[in-house]
């Protein structure tokens, strides 16, 4: 065994040990806690110690560790990494390693392994990176080298997890209740999350995690994967009867979607892996990675006013200008005109695709409104939905062949919409020209890019499934617009939070968390969106007192205190607000501006919910000197007197001054007397605050209390 046979990569407390013995594709001997400075001799001994024994009816030779691309031919009897064939031939490849290039200098830990199966007529290239954040990411490229076409059915990559991982965690959900957590035992078999919506979806797992029994936000060893792709995808956890266990994922390809001719290739999306202690540590790795990207937004995230829930389709210059004036008075920095500005768009049944300003509503174009908004010191933004089309539109009547469909039939409508085939060069060119023209005519700083239906029966021009090509075309369109207009930020909105993934975030600047801005629903939606996405990239707005999506009514402090912890905005007809409400809202806007650097650079922390009636979450400054927490009473508790609030993530050796933080210091309380520390604050070590905590006040349900924690030394 040579040093080349085993490779040990390290970053941010994580070790990745790769094995390329026997000239096969790389396998992982260890992915998890940092093993320290292990010598070559110790690595060799570890490799010997990792070889399992054999039992009856097993393979005659001890099974090798599972490859990143598992192969039946190598003894793996679970889900293979590569599936496909040439009309039934070449369906079980056995790749031989042909290259293994390593870059390992601390900041850049990258491996490129190549393999070939001359009989099957295939080559494969696997890229593995251990990023400075401690994330592992990998992708693979398969190339056909034979003359006959190769029908690719799937290309998925895996990472192993040890047998101590006995529980699974991921997220489910629906529109308006995205990202609902669910747990289940990790037993023998496959837990597979298959998304066939053509977009990430409300029920996407976001992350699929395996961990030790009882793991939560702050404890337990956890391994997790995320597939960075906005189309159909699969994430899965598999445990074989022999004990081998993996997490894996990739794009979910539909029949005939990718057929490789000689010399043609297919590349998977990136599949990310995260390891840590507690779900907060997993989230921190993703947040650190996203914040390290060159394109990550660096400036303060502006206060947004969006017009949708204020006016819907009722566009009137005087009304919208007055709304802008009141927004500017409250401290708004970016004003976004939502749906209803383009031709024939008086409701949601018509007009999608006709991306011209409606002359009947806007005889002078959008110029009067844009000038008024910018004259008030705000940026101007615009809503678009370029991937969709109403059949009642000039575009669909002129080009019915631009609508994705199958076998000559139009897919079932959803929200009165169909999907525009952006893989069609003519359709793509039309949308690019229209958006480019709008961005050229108006000083638009921001696009709210919506996507309001699933891609069901989405067949392309040749009749084969079109989701793969559509997803790549959308990415390409976003990139082309950003290249032509580098100052424009783009938000990924998809029926609210239905396209939230690291794939779309390579091409956009923010995601919309959910169409529901009821703060009670948003508390859980935002809590679990943070498992992947840092708060500065998630839009959250203050709505009207009465939520049109749930029928609930909430205090302004609960609405604003919930929106505060993401990228803050307003979606409320302020012409209907009282002077008192507008004054209070302005105080929340001013406070957001004061703390947004803390919120958008700090570490997100979430106390375990030992009592489901309330939640505690917060953000701790990178140097541990400052923190802001929210105590949220969700429902009435079972006990009359609440327990304690533990404040996680602080420096245990430092002393902190703890007190209430205006304007979130006056929630409605049901107790006769509040705990004594609320009146004057208290100074305690971080270790006490995290492990012993403070007595919680008795709040009425659907109330929120802000707690500020500053280092006292």
C-alpha separations of 596 from 14, 57, 141, 303, 520 in Å: 30, 61, 41, 10, 22
Q: Which residues contact 372 (CB under 8 A, 6 or more apart)?
A: 321, 324
Return the biggest CA–CA distance within the chain. 82
Q: Is 593 left (phi over 0), alpha (psi -120 to 50) or beta?
A: alpha
Alpha carbon 143 to its chain centroid, in Å, reads 30
- How far is Cα 492 from Cα 538, in angstroms, rounded to an integer? 10
Q: Are 285 and 276 in contact (CB under 8 A)?
A: yes
Q: Alpha carbon of 402 to those of 396, 397, 416, 420, 469: distances in Å?
A: 7, 10, 16, 6, 14
Report the distance separating Cα 163 and Cα 211, nearest Å.
Answer: 9
DSSP label at 73? G
Whether 61 is a known active-site residue: answer no
Separation CA 111–CA 99 (nearest Å): 10
Closest to 85 (Cα-Cα) out of 263, 267, 255: 255
Q: Which residues pair with 539 in a beta bridge?
A: 512, 567
Query: Phi and psi for 610 in degrees, rounded to 5?
Result: -70, -25
Convert 578-596 to b/e letters by CB count within 10 Å (16 or more is b): eeebbebbebbbebbbebb
Neighbouring CB atoms inside 10 A of 147's CB total: 9
Q: Which two three-digit tokens encode residue 87?
A: 């009309």
Is 37 marked active-site?
A: no
Task: Locate 341 and state its tokens.
Answer: 């500005």
Of residues 473, 515, 513, 507, the one with CA closest to residue 490: 507
**Cα separation of 636 and 44, whole Å?**
58
C-alpha separations of 652 from 60, 170, 689 in Å? 53, 31, 8
C-alpha dihedral, 446 to 452 to 455 to 459, nearest 10°: -70
Q: Among residues 19, 203, 450, 555, which one is catalytic?
A: 450
Among 543, 564, 572, 542, smallest CA distance to 705 is for: 564
Catalytic-role residue among 339, 454, 515, 518: 515
- DSSP run (H or E) holding 317: helix 317-330
Rounded Cα distance between 395 and 352, Å, is: 8
The residues assigned a catalytic role are 450, 515
């Amino acid at each position: 065994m040579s040093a080349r046979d085993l490779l040990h990569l390290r970053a941010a407390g994580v070790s990745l040990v790769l094995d390329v013995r026997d000239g096969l594709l790389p396998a992982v001997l260890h992915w998890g806690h940092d093993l320290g400075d292990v010598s070559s001799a110790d690595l060799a001994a570890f490799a010997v110690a990792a070889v399992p024994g054999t039992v009856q009816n097993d393979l005659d030779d001890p099974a090798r560790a599972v490859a990143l691309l598992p192969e039946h031919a190598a003894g793996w009897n679970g889900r293979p990494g590569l599936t496909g064939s040439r009309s039934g031939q070449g369906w079980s490849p056995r790749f031989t390693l042909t290259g293994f290039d390593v870059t390992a200098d601390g900041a850049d830990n990258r491996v490129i392994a190549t393999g070939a199966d001359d009989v099957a007529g295939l080559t494969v290239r696997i890229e593995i990176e251990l990023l400075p954040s401690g994330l592992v990411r990998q992708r693979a490229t398969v190339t056909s080298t034979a003359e006959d076409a190769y029908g690719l059915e799937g290309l998925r990559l895996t990472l192993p997890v040890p047998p101590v991982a006995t529980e699974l965690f991921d997220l489910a959900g629906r529109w308006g209740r995205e990202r609902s957590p669910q747990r289940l035992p990790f037993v023998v078999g496959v837990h597979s999350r298959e998304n066939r919506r053509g977009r990430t979806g409300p029920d996407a797992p976001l992350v699929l995690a395996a961990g030790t029994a009882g793991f939560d936000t702050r404890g337990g060893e956890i391994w997790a994967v995320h597939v960075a792709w906005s189309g159909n995808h699969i994430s899965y956890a598999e445990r074989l009867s022999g004990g081998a266990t993996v997490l894996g994922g990739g794009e979910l390809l539909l029949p005939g979607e990718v057929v490789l001719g000689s010399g043609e290739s297919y590349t998977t999306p990136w599949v990310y892996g995260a390891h840590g202690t507690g779900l907060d540590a997993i989230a921190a790795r993703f947040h650190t990675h996203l914040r390290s990207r060159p394109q990550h937004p660096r400036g303060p995230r502006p206060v947004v006013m969006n017009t949708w829930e204020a006016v819907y389709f009722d566009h009137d210059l005087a009304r919208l200008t007055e709304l802008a004036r009141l927004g500017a008075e409250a401290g708004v920095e970016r004003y976004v005109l939502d749906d209803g500005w383009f031709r024939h768009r008086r409701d949601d049944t018509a007009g999608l695709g006709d991306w011209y300003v409606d002359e009947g509503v806007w005889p002078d174009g959008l110029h009067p409104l844009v000038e008024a908004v910018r004259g008030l010191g705000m940026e101007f933004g615009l809503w678009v939905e370029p991937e969709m089309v109403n059949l009642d539109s000039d575009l669909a009547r002129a080009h019915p062949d631009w609508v994705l469909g199958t076998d000559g039939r139009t897919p079932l409508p959803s929200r009165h919409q169909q999907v525009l085939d952006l893989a069609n060069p003519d359709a793509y060119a039309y949308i690019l020209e229209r958006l480019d023209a709008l961005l050229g005519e108006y000083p638009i700083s921001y696009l709210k890019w919506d996507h309001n239906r699933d891609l069901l029966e989405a067949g392309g021009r040749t009749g084969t499934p079109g989701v793969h090509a559509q997803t790549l075309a959308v990415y390409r369109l976003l990139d082309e617009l950003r290249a032509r207009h580098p100052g424009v930020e783009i938000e990924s909105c998809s029926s609210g939070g239905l396209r939230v993934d690291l794939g779309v975030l390579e091409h956009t600047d923010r995601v919309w968390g959910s169409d529901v801005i009821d703060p009670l629903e948003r508390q859980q939606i935002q809590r679990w969106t943070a498992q992947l996405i840092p708060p500065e990239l998630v839009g959250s707005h203050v709505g009207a007192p009465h939520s049109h999506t749930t029928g609930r009514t909430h205090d302004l402090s609960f609405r604003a205190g919930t929106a505060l912890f993401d990228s803050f905005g307003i979606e409320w007809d302020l012409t209907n607000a009282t002077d008192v409400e507008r004054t209070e809202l302005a105080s929340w806007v001013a406070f957001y501006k004061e703390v947004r650097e803390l919120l958008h650079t700090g570490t997100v922390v979430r106390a375990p919910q030992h009592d489901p009636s309330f939640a505690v979450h917060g953000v701790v400054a990178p140097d541990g000197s400052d923190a802001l927490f929210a105590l949220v009473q969700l429902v009435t508790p079972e006990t009359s007197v609440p327990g304690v609030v533990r404040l996680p993530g602080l420096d245990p050796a430092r002393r902190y001054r703890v007190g209430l933080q205006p304007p979130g210091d006056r929630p409605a309380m049901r107790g006769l007397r509040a705990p004594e520390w609320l009146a004057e604050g208290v100074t305690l070590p971080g270790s006490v605050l995290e492990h012993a905590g403070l007595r919680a006040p008795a709040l009425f349900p659907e109330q929120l209390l802000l707690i500020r924690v500053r280092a006292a030394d």
